[in-house]
Amino acid sequence: MLESHKEIIKQRAVVADDWSVLRLAVADPDAGVAADAPDAVVVPEGKVIVPLAVWQAQRDSLASRSEIGVWLAPDERAEALRGDLDKFAVVAIDFPKFTDGRGYSTAFNLRMRMDYRGELRAIGDVLRDQLFQMQRCGFDAFATRPDRNIHDALKGLTDFSEVYQASVDVKAPLFRRHERDVRIDSTDVGYGI
């Protein structure tokens, strides 16, 4: 099944989205639905972001496509893409529930440990309240939930004017970024400690 958004947030702006996300059918015996086999799924032409399992099963045929992306589920590790990152125009990380924060670590690892410089997109249950921290972890594109106002969500990237901790977006903590005027007075309690 192909899933698409009309608009996404990319580089701090709302833009048209010309990518589709390929989702595999999950087995549901009660409804008579069989799971899609990653090696048998037909990946349509065009800009498609495929699940990691499809990439791994069809790597040889998909690697020649110039407009291919891959998405990772929360339980999949970024290291599975080692050596292949240069083949993707987009790497997406799925948030099936907004309460599942494993994707933040995956994004951080892609940016800081694996030096991925392409588009890193958050997909799934992505809400305004998450965007600021997602951006701090390395995301630069966001496919927000379709039932929410994307222009309101965009404001989430500017909820805070300063950050204390170092991360992908700011390499030094606040105390290293600002000079402080420190005066030592021998009458101060704690002087010399």
- Tell me the two tokens of residue 85: 């990152």
Sites in the chain below the pLDDT cut of 50: none
161-179 per-residue burial string, b: 16 or more CB within 10 A, e: under 16: eeeeeebbeeeeeeeeeee
- What would you report as the CA-atom Rg of the chain, rounded to the nearest whole angstrom? 21
Query: Which domains can be identified in the chain, with CATH numbers?
Result: 2-160 (3.40.50)
pLDDT at 68: 96
Nearest 10 degrees: CA dihedral of 20, 83, 52, 135? -60
pLDDT at 190: 56
With a CB cutoff of 8 Å and minimum separation 6, the contacts of 149 are none
pLDDT at 80: 95
Model-level pTM?
Answer: 0.83
- Residue range 134-143, pLDDT digits in tens: 999 999 999 9
